[in-house]
Amino acid sequence: MKQNAVDAAHIIYAKKQFNKEGGAMEIVKKENKSENEAFYVVGVGASAGGLEALQDFFKSMPDDSGCAFVVIQHLSPDYKSLMSELLARYTKMEVHVASDDEEVKPNHVYLIPPKKELTIHHGHLKLDEQNNINGINLAIDNFFRSLARDCGKYAIAIVLSGAGSDGSLGIRDIKEYGGMIMVQEPKTAAFNSMPLSSIATGLCDYVLPPGKMSKAMTGFIQHPYMHPDEANEQPLHKDTLSKILDVLKEYCHMDFSNYKENTLVRRMERRVSINQFHNLEEYLNYLSGSDQEKETLFKELLIGVTGFFRDAEAFDFIAKNVIPKMKAVNQTIRIWSVACSTGEEVYSIAMLLNEYLESNHLDYEIKIFATDIDRNALAVASQGIYSASVAMDIDPYLLKKYFTKQDSGYRINADIRKMIIFSAHNVLNDPPFSKLNMIICRNLFIYLKTHVQQELLYRFYYALNNSGYLFMGSSESIGEMNESFEVISRKWKIYRQKEDIRPTSNMIINANGLTEHFSSILRTSDYRNIDNHGIKVEKIVESAFSAMSPPSIIINDVDNIIYMGSDIHRILRFKPGVFSQNLYANLPGGLGLFVNGVVRRLHAGEDNVATMCASDIPEFEGKNILINGYTLTVAKTAFYLLTFEIKEAKKEEKFTYIDSNQEIGKRIMELEEELRISKENLQATIEELETTNEELQSSNEELVAANEELQSTNEELQSVNEELYTVNSEYQSKIDELTRLNTDLDNLLINVEVGAMYLDNDLKIRKLTPVVSKITHIMDMDIGRPISHLSLMDNYPNWQDDVRHVQKTLENVDKEIYEVDGKYWLVRIRPYRSEYNAVEGIIITFLEASDLRMMRSSSFEREGKIYWQRENCDVSMWRYDLKHETLWYPYIKDTNSNQRQFSVDDFMKRIHPDDVIHVRSAVDECISGGKNCIEIMYRYKGNDEVYEWIYIQLFVEKKRSDGTAEMIQGKMTILSDQ
């Protein structure tokens, strides 16, 4: 059994190594590059219903944004994705499926292939075989985590439509490393589970419809604050920063002045960029009037990022080297988790403790105090319900043992939940817990100023038992307290308290604004420092107050402790269990009665100083306790100072004495009567509950068994459903496209009056157009019948032989068929080829050729006549010189005569009046450059005054620079006499 606990821790570590590419993986951020080389990498996670969202997103995204896009989907392992083809229609960026070790480039879109896990490392995409964690596909979380570590502030995560909670875990890492997060507006998502799960983390920067994300993204990445060289040109006004903190303090009652200034400025500049303001002054005006932005900034500054077994190797070390060495006091182990956020790390420690106790058969009581100032985070932690994606960080053995699967995710078991007490607590102001075996305070100190860190470590030292352990974040250190703590693991910052070296505190952290008020007065005076070492006056005042006053305590108007003076431990008694700030919960029983009398008089305003002497108290035998009360009014708020002086018992007439035994006796009688009545009521209630519980227990066992089976089935069905929905969306898009193309093709064939008939490889009719039914014997009802059963056209009996010939030889066949109605049809038979050029049937087209045949016959007749006339008539040449306006023309009846020179006007006078316009138009068309060759016929009057038909061809022999003719030459043929 003992070995099982160690093995479990090793399994957790090995699992984290796989998911995070190694626990000690080198963090390579793009900010290490020069600003000119760095570019943003956008991880887009989508599942069921994500196709439409992706199309809307890329449709509005500029093609030259300078970003690289990696699309992660839940794909079926047996399905060839069409996403690259579908997205390519909505963007001009190159879209393709990612390959292993491919370098990521700007203005490219990379798609995850089926059956693969995709991560990014050193700017290159890495592919691994898909590893469904506990049966759940968490490809989006896996990529987001690698993206955060590789790109840092240049990482952008987008969560679109999808079922489940994938992505909600990965965005935590994106936020931690300074990246930006966008989530689809749930109302616009076909499946809103993924967007809602991410929004529930409270880490999202934008919640928008996909079509509006591009504008917000480009505005964010182009903002000057996102480019350090430009941002540094704008000076930081500390006064503005102080005012922002004041606005935030008034809203959430939290003072962030103890945080490092650089951390505050960096977080605020992000909000300036996201809201598209120019500087902090503009943001301050906006913040003052927006409660929503105040809440967002409050969460941004808290930086509540955590996870199960975070830095898994560190938890492995604790399981093997720390937990076995813890010393239980009174069979109890007490642990305090500071700034626990949503509780994942607390539950991780609880599971390891329980594993150790079971494996070693120990019956210790475990008390873990988990505190934070974020009440929303504490509410999540108290419920103990986490999204399904946490399965990525938890070993299957621990997941099955300590969690119950629900529709909303996983719920921590009651055995672990009862170990932990969640409470709102400000570690900077409120008193610490005590008698602790271990304090967990991870990744808080890196945001706090150095002197605040040292004071907290001082408190932690005295809150720990001797040899108690301190577990800090990997980027934190104990600073000047190194002599008071022994290093157990330098790598994972695990320390053990040294019993022999006790530190001293040199400052006091402000408590609920009381000392802060005094400090603010001193800061405004002219005597802030008394020497060159910068020693502040308020420190001296606080030291003097501790040295001069007796044990004292300050409470507020609801009797909660807000400040404790020196030696107060002599009076107060801190009890095991959850810490209470109430004064009476920490006083000895006998003393509380007297303190209550003083406080009651102060509340009533009877005396500004109330004095009472308490005697005969069991805890202080032989002594009197002199109690003094004072009312302090600071900033119109009443506080009460109580001092306690322990004196030897003797008669003091000037004080008011109360017989403690008499007062205690009366109080005991009242309490006993109340207890008796309560016992009677409790007994009756217990009897009823026992009967009901037996019935419920039996029913519950049956329901648990049935629920486990249903949960397992539901997980499988949900995974299959997401894959089917993605496939269906892509197919639906393809079907729509094919429907449009088919409609276009049908309209084309119908409107051009072309008949088409499609045959399959078995020569059965697959499809035909309406024209075919009109001109052949084949009707729509014949679809599916073989051609051997059918007749096509009366004058085309051997059409089946032609079809088989084409099928066998793949040679085209064209036939001209004459029908009895006088129409001619051109029938063309061709092989039907697929997109891969494979023959998948025969296509027969029918085109009416009656007009074409008539035109062809007329053309043949005319051309034959012209040919005969040319062969049997006189032929001679002529030329027209436009430059000199002269025409050389032969004398028709005298074959021995030379060509004669005419003017154009003389030539036109010899043309028959009815042909003048026709000839003039043809010649002008040649002159203008409209045509290079024209044929015309006209009647010409020779020397015998008889008109003869002349056929002449005009050719442009030479052109001017403007394209008009300069010389026209022709061939003339005498066709016949008039």
In the residue annotation, 278 being an active-site residue is answered as no
Alpha-carbon dihedral 19, 21, 27, 32, rounded to 10 degrees: -110
Contact 760/841 with Cβ under 8 angstroms?
A: yes
Among 141, 166, 374, 395, which one carries the catalytic annotation?
Answer: 166
Map residue 496 onto helix, strand or coil: strand
Look at residues 511, 532, 528 and name the one whose alpha carbon lies nearest to residue 520: 528
Q: Judge residue 253's burial from the number of C-beta atoms within 10 Å of its C-beta, 0-12 exposed, 13-18 middle, 19 or more buried.
A: exposed
Per the DSSP assignment, residues forming a β-bridge with 814 are 828
509's CB contacts (< 8 A; 6+ apart) are 258, 428, 429, 452, 455, 456
Strands laid side by side in the 609-614 sheet:
561-564, 552-555, 637-648, 623-634, 609-614, 657-658
5 token code pair:
């606990």
Contact 749/756 with Cβ under 8 angstroms?
A: yes
Map residue 442 onto helix, strand or coil: coil
Among 65, 74, 348, 484, which one carries the catalytic annotation?
Answer: 74
- Alpha-carbon distance of 772 to 781, in angstroms, equals 12
Look at residues 719, 110, 154, 87 and name the one whose alpha carbon lies nearest to residue 119: 110
Provide the CB-side half-sphere exposure for 96 (13 A, CA).
11
Return the ∠ at Cα 301 (arms to 300 and 302), rounded to 5°.
Answer: 95
Contact 416/308 with Cβ under 8 angstroms?
A: no
Strands laid side by side in the 420-424 sheet:
420-424, 365-372, 332-337, 436-441, 464-472, 494-497, 485-489
Q: Judge residue 804's burial from the number of C-beta atoms within 10 Å of its C-beta, 0-12 exposed, 13-18 middle, 19 or more buried.
A: middle
Q: Dump the DSSP string for 35-55.
A: TTT---EEEEEE-TTHHHHHH
In the residue annotation, 166 being an active-site residue is answered as yes
In the residue annotation, 227 being an active-site residue is answered as no
Residue carrying the six token digits 């429907």: 739
- Alpha-carbon distance of 830 to 82, in angstroms, equals 31
What does the longest C-alpha to C-alpha distance in the chain come to? Answer: 172
Per the DSSP assignment, residues forming a β-bridge with 768 are 757
Q: Which residues are known to be catalytic? A: 47, 74, 166
